[in-house]
Structure 1
Amino acid sequence: MFRTRTISRALWHQQAQIRIHYARPCASILHISKPNFLHSRSLNTVTVEDSYVKKFMNAVGWMDQSRTRLKLTGYFLYECIPENVSYAEWFESLELPDTFASWFVITELHVWMLMVRYMAEDILLPVNETKKYIKGDGHFVRNCIIEALWADVANKIKLLEGANPAIARKQVSELSEQFQASLVAYDEGLSDDKILAAAIWRRFYSLAEDVKAEHIERLVKFIRHQIAELDKIPSDDLRSKPKITWLSILNH
């Protein structure tokens, strides 16, 4: 399946249209000791009672319109990440701290892999010796996944003790920039394990010299295997509510 770096380019264009009203707690305030971030169920995902998917459904109903269904698909796809990924396994096996920052980089990686699969649906054949990208359903679903991610981030930041709204706005803007940079780095590594390993080292471990090489290798293998599994989803199923199976990091 042909992929290009159009994911990142399209996201930069989308950034001008997105207004973020919350912000990322910086490293000094992201660490949560008691209770641990993972152990608070309401912090792990959008709660079922107040899920953004449910609110959206209540507002518009199950209208028989393609865009409405695609938007729901994007939100369902996002929710399948925090609901089904075992963050405890990731923290332990990769020696990551149990913090908001660790939760975000893990979630971000899964969001990127979904984006890779959906954006691949919008790539057209070469036209006049150039490759022309036209926004389609994949682009729209990708935007909805990102929208759900930031809604969840805002929801979690509200629950962090001592979060200053003024500081928060500035820090989510910084987090958004980091997110975009990570997409570029991961895109570059799609066809080269060394580049992908460097992107992982930078994003997950901030280029720390004492990181274990096996952690980086495990993540590279996981990404390759997971993307291969996502590629198996038929194109016709991408418009509905596809079943996403997230692999365990422990098996790589």
Structure 2
Amino acid sequence: MAKDQLPDIDTSVPQSARIWDYWLGGKENFPADRAAGDAVLRVLPGIAVSAQQDRAFLGRVVRFLVRQGIRQFLDLGSGLPTVDNTHEVAQRVAPSSRIVYVDNDPLVQAHARALLRSTPEGACDYIEADIRDTDLIISEAGRTLDFERPVGLMLLGVLNHILDDDEARQIVERLVRRLVPGSYVVISHTCDATTDELDGEAMRRAVREVMDRGGTPIRARSPEQIERLFAGTRLLEPGVVSCSRWRPDPSREPGPEVPHFSGVALVTGDE
């Protein structure tokens, strides 16, 4: 996209979608984003690998959901379009899949409108909205998705921007109430777990680096806190784990454990 076509944004302030794009090797970022990204890399050298593993998780989980019969996806906090977006992965397997993306960054909106192209059999739409406005999201997404049928609700790397634990849980609860049984909820989240591979304090320092630079606020949570976000659903095996360890491809070596945890749950209607 040409620079003179960019929406009116403040490029002096780092933004999470653009920092993530930088870690993934993308080009849609600015000096403030790269400076914030580099500051985090100095504290957490493996964060770029974490971003790559989270992207690989997206591909695995979308393919899993398609195998379960899901043909509709609501992807909140979608970030900047890159390779193997949700609709590309889903429609590669099931061309009739319908996908709605949601983000509140005007740069994401500009790129989404320009780059997110659906198959003729399916549909792809984009909504500019804050994930807190669940009524608006469901109403607008209803132009493309049929909420009388199962939906794959994707919440990848977005609930960590909701700092209050109760508010984060309530957002998920409000969205789940609008989903019929047979739907799925997918969450990936910045994690401050401490294991042999992960340094929880390093993650907390990295979060402070971004916030001190005026970037999007981030709240790292423990695996137990992330699991509580799935309240009212049936969490599938292996539970909440490093995104690299969620049902890895058995034909490949699993990726390194990273401080970005994930889980997938089934909406049953009777939890």
TM-score by length of 1: 0.30
Structure with more of its chain in strand, by fraction: 2
Larger relative contact order, structure 1 or 2 (CA cutoff 8 Å, min sep 6): 1
Using the size of structure 2 for normalisation, the TM-score is: 0.29
Q: Choose between structure 1 and 2: higher helix proportion.
A: 1
